Amino acid sequence: MNEVGIDLSRVQPQKLTPDLAKEAQLLVTMGCGEACPHVPGLRRLDWPLEDPKGKPVQRVREIRDDVKQHVLKLIEEEGWALRPESRHWL
């Protein structure tokens, strides 16, 4: 992600809890299908994406770019506007 200007060095994965999800309107999961977490009352999309863990860097880049395309499609479908500062990666 550093290659596209996103610093994730201070970010830690978090387990999805009801408290974490309480402010959300949408939960996007990535390829977990029926094993995905369920949060009652929360709309969920499951994008069929490969887990990048342990993959060669070129494959990780391809998965990252797939995520980007899914995000752009979601933004368009929902009619959301992008903030100027978020456009550097998109």
- Both structure tokens of 4: 């596209």
pLDDT computed for residue 83 by the predictor: 72
DSSP state of 25: S
The rounded average pLDDT for each run of 10 residues, N- to C-terminus, in the chain (90 residues) is 91 86 88 81 90 95 95 91 66
pLDDT computed for residue 67 by the predictor: 94
| pTM greater than 0.85 (yes/no) | no
- Both structure tokens of 84: 């100027």
CB 90 within 8 A of CB 71: yes
Q: 2-86: which CATH number, 3.40.1710.10, 3.40.50.2300, 3.40.50.720, 3.40.50.300?
A: 3.40.50.2300
pLDDT computed for residue 35 by the predictor: 83
